[in-house]
């Protein structure tokens, strides 16, 4: 399948002269969106949710895997350096102490999800909502699976599943569905404009 340009390339086309500046600026913008999405609490059942997973999936689809992974990596570096970029920071700690707590597996999952969704987008699935949804659901399962695996080392597998997976499934599936609908819609709007 031949793929059309990613969303980011339609909005800010790449040229040799500004390639590094563009990459850095978009990664920093992405980390700002990730930080904002970590701080927004949306009432949801059974637990309030942040919009972080939505932004991770959306950025990966808009940016592709390299820039998506670099953005998530920069976000994690900001957190490791002590910036209060994560959900619950600075109230529940900052830096590596916070990162190596219960959230480490989910944060690693964000990196894997960015690669999964970014690769799919680069192959043209960012224009096919149902195919993109399937990839995004796989990415959500990966985030939750890695989150569960790490949490299980801290509190045991059953408790980790009950506390660290079950309450988040409905919210994460909803966010994946929203992202899988939004990305092709934006591609369609940009295609008509371009």
pLDDT digits 0-9 by tens, 17-29: 788 999 999 999 9
Is residue 1, in this structure, part of any structural domain at all?
A: no
- The residue with greater pLDDT, 154 or 2, is 154
Is residue 2, in this structure, part of any structural domain at all?
A: no
Is residue 121, in this structure, part of any structural domain at all?
A: yes
Total number of domains in the chain? 1
Query: What CATH number has the domain bearing residue 48?
Result: 1.10.1760.20
pLDDT digits 0-9 by tens, 90-134: 988 899 999 999 999 999 999 999 999 999 999 999 999 999 999
Is residue 62, in this structure, part of any structural domain at all?
A: yes
pLDDT band for position 193 (cuts 50, 70, 90): low
Is residue 102, in this structure, part of any structural domain at all?
A: yes
Is residue 83, in this structure, part of any structural domain at all?
A: yes
pTM: 0.93
- State mean pLDDT over 31-59: 92
| Segments forming the whole domain that contains residue 53 | 7-193
On the question of pLDDT at 45 being above 80, the answer is no
Is residue 61, in this structure, part of any structural domain at all?
A: yes
Q: How far is CA 193 from CA 3, 125, 136, 187, in A?
A: 18, 20, 26, 10
Residue 135: the pLDDT is 98
């Amino acid at each position: 399948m031949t793929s059309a340009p990613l969303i980011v390339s339609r909005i800010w086309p790449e040229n040799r002269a500004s390639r590094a500046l563009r990459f850095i600026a978009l990664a920093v913008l992405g980390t700002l969106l990730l930080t904002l999405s970590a701080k927004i609490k949306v009432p949801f059942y059974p637990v309030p949710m942040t919009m972080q997973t939505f932004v991770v999936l959306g950025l990966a689809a808009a940016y592709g895997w390299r820039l998506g992974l670099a953005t998530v990596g920069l976000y994690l570096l900001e957190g490791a350096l002590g910036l209060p970029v994560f959900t619950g920071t600075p109230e529940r700690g900052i830096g590596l102490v916070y990162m190596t707590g219960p959230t480490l597996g989910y944060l690693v999952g964000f990196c894997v999800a960015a690669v999964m969704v970014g690769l799919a987008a680069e192959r043209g699935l960012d224009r096919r909502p149902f195919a993109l949804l399937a990839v995004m659901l796989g990415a959500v399962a990966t985030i939750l699976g890695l989150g569960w695996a790490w949490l299980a080392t801290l509190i045991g597998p059953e408790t980790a599943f009950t506390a660290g997976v079950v309450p988040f499934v409905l919210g994460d599936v909803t966010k994946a569905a929203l992202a899988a609908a939004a990305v092709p819609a934006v591609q369609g709007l940009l295609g008509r404009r371009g």
